[in-house]
Chains A and B, each alone.
Chain A
């Protein structure tokens, strides 16, 4: 796929259309309950809703008062209650209780639940069991995808990860399938589908490619799509982020494309909410940069700004007038953004250039490299003993476990005991969850395993054999990060200088110490146009890879149209900003454009 001449990045589809569709459908649904009504909104739907509609629109459609769903008794005098919620049993139970309380009080109201992005049978069963089915009408708002930026789409489903990987409940897999379905019907079919992981594979067989005969609105091509299960690569989200956007997320939490900067950043006594996307000209230039470059960049920018302001001097009235009307507003805007980002990086510097952070990074890098593991364990132990950041401690423990194929029994026990002492004994539940996920495990002695296998093998009947084989293969699958890293050259040789200002590969997003596994896989597969030659890698990743050529119009593959250069990467279970930056880098280098679709931005949250 070597490109002979430079081409501009292909134009991305206009994703704002998705917002309009969602808004129109919501309005339509509100109209289904005519008249004044109070609207109760799930807390985590507030921000996504903000991105596509506003209070005025809701008011226009006779929403009287807005409430946040808090699962407490309500004080509403309205005769019509509308609930805009995620399909969660707990919320539906709360609504059923409200309805029943009203019934007892002899109060008559009308109730409507709008489930988004879809309803679940389990929720409707609750309505039925509580005897309010029929009193409450239900609808679906198919708000599957929220475009967060020109090149980022999100499903905003934070529970995807937990439900799917921890609980083993596949209900959201279908939802994610529907999202792809929606994209195809609006923007055209995918010419090729690649992927790796259990959900990714399942989804494909079922949904994406079956679409050809159905209604696709446009006769166009949407490029290809790459699906990755989060559990294919747990290492990347466990590493501390060092690109600007990633750091902002680590420190301030980016939610739904916006961030709240506290008083220490704004240098006033207020917090400010800021949208972070490509509209912000300052941000869009630094978001993908390694943190060490950002400060220099910002100060250069500040100087330029000063020069621009200084132009005023020596202007005559006419010029000044023109300046004020044409440039000043832009400059002021830039000024405001610049001072915010400078404030943010200052507060990052304060927190992150401390010795602590340097040591943390050093430990992470050693773990990735498989170097001085004992020292790393000592460091983690001290980290825990000092009761500093609970999450960082846990991240380090998981990183240690994954890179080392589990912890030695005595290390596991001692570290777990110390962790519980420092952060609370209730976290033994967290450890149980992490073990279930395969994120933090105790090594099984090799012997024990084989002995167990042969013994058990003789004892059990056919039915359970499958289950056991699964269990054993999941035990066996662990041992692979080192091998994978070697095979794919994820960790550059140490000792080489890495110029972070001129990144040479995707490793720059981790200070040159590690190329995100997920992104490396994507690069390799696209380069080969399939998995050929990567058999060993996929075996280590537990198989489940695939590449399927889709629809009809892929015959003129040689001469790629702009649209075909687009690759949609979908992370099932969330992705990090570092991965997004890495993919942006890859896109520039390969003259391909990546659109990222994610379940949710993870900033891995591991606690119970």
Chain B
């Protein structure tokens, strides 16, 4: 029932609108029940579909057109725009919106204001452009005039206007001439480059950068395209095509690496996808290795392909060599991977070095306290941790590590060496009564031979 009465009310309102256009505006603006408008539009939409299509696109044209159609004609609905309504003052108060509704025309001068707008000086034209008023650039035909216009736009620091002028120059000057002139105009040039980037005019941009002698920028710009290529073999081929670009020496190496890396990843991915080795069953791969960074790839290879001979692309040693990975970085990554698998034996052998007597000694390019951190994060057992805590050089770090990871022996021995009786007593309280460590402390404290410092 409610619905029906609402509809009834609405239909009445529609009739009202029909008779008096002023009402539409007032009602709609003051936020009266809006059903009215929705009704009228439904009607409008259907009436348009049924044939008055031609009358639509010209919205701001003469009001007489609206009279021709039905009372619902769209142009009548749009009239609020051109009519100074209650709102005009508000919108004017913060910027002249009303005048901005003029369509800015870059080439076609507006017929009604032609004489006024086409004879303006560069200054006046730019000023009008800034304010969003009608203007015409048609008059600026000589190169000199065009450049005066551009320089004026740059002088008022309005990026929007600078770009507008550049669009006009792009259409009315040959690119050779435009490029030449931009060369000496840095601000305008940067606006132009940015505009071309946003428009996706890659080709022109490359030509421009070439003309400017900015070959490195050009190479990078081209290289950037690879980000938009989703298919990995196409991406690989694209990277290959980048190899000949004039990168800086460093970047050339990096791009070469990028290509090599993706090429290898594609090979590894293809074979690992259907791999049946034990390790793949035990630790199923969570993601593909494609497009991962070098270090992630190395980690992956240390995880799934450890111990493979250097001849295979997927072996850690091959990756390490191909991408010139530092020893430190290699150890760090391999340590992470092997510790994750709890292969403490592999971890051990990472640090073992033999001297000429065949005597093994542990050596690490990263601090052993870091090694301990990593082992702990991978929940290494105390025996393993203890061994590495013992290798920490710095005594403070060593004690800190021992305390943190509960390597009792090391703690006790350190306090013993420091002759710190008080600390030993404190530490004893933290231990379980009658545990071997507890007893060890007890024995030490009872040892009369030690000269305690406290």
Contacts and interface: CB of A to CB of B under 8 A. Distances in A.
Interface of A: 21, 24-25, 27-28, 31-32, 34-36, 60-62, 79-80, 88-90, 108, 110, 118-122, 124-126, 128, 133-135, 137-140, 142, 163, 167-174, 178, 181-182, 185-186, 202-203, 206, 215, 217, 355, 382, 385-387, 413, 416-418, 420-426, 428-429, 432, 463-464, 467, 470
B292 to A, nearest CB: 8
Given A60-B31, A62-B34, A121-B161, A185 B104 contact: no
A169 B294 contact: no
Contacts of B101: 139
Given A125-B164, A174-B158, A215-B92, 4 more contacts: A120-B163, A124-B103, A413-B250, A428-B223
Contacts of A432: 217, 220
A206 B156 contact: yes
Interface stretch (B254-262, B274-282, B339-347, B406-414): B254-262
B153 to A, nearest CB: 10
B77 interface: yes
B94 A182 contact: yes
Contacts of B197: 167
Interface string B193-220: 1110111000000000000000001001
A508 to B, nearest CB: 29
Nearest to B25: A31
B251 A428 contact: yes
Interface stretch (B2-10, B324-332, B443-451): B324-332
A420 B257 CA distance: 10
Interface stretch (B55-63, B305-313, B350-358, B421-429): B55-63
Contacts of A140: 97, 100
A136 to B, nearest CB: 10
B142 interface: no
B254 A125 contact: no
A25 B191 contact: no
Contacts of A186: 94
Interface residues of B, number: 89
B323 A89 contact: no
A417 B255 CA distance: 11
B78 interface: yes
Contacts of B329: 385, 418, 421
10 contacts: A122-B160, A122-B195, A140-B97, A171-B163, A174-B159, A182-B95, A185-B93, A217-B93, A417-B250, A429-B220
A31 B29 contact: yes
Interface of B: 24, 28-29, 31, 34, 37-38, 40-42, 44-45, 48-49, 53, 56-59, 74, 77-78, 80-81, 87, 90-95, 97, 100-101, 103-104, 106, 129-130, 156-164, 167, 183-184, 186-187, 190-191, 193-195, 197-199, 217, 220, 223-224, 226-227, 250-251, 254-255, 257-258, 261, 291-296, 323, 325-326, 328-329, 332, 366, 370, 373
Contacts of B323: 421
Contacts of B156: 206
B95 A416 contact: no
A181 B95 contact: yes
A60 B35 CA distance: 9
Given A34-B77, A167-B193, A62 B293 contact: no
A362 to B, nearest CB: 15
Given A110-B74, A206-B156, A28 B91 contact: yes
B160 A171 contact: yes
A169 B191 contact: yes
Given A125-B167, A178-B95, A206-B157, A60 B295 contact: no
Nearest to A387: B295
7 cross-chain pairs, A with B, having the tightest CB-CB distances, nearest first: A35-B41, A171-B159, A168-B190, A170-B159, A121-B164, A463-B184, A425-B258
A186 B156 CA distance: 25
A170 B199 contact: no
Given A32-B81, A422-B293, A169 B159 contact: yes
A27 B30 CA distance: 10
B38 to A, nearest CB: 5
B159 A172 contact: yes
A206 B131 CA distance: 13
A429 B195 CA distance: 19
A439 to B, nearest CB: 17
Given A36-B42, A170-B162, A125 B106 contact: yes
A32 B83 CA distance: 11
Contacts of A172: 159
B383 to A, nearest CB: 24
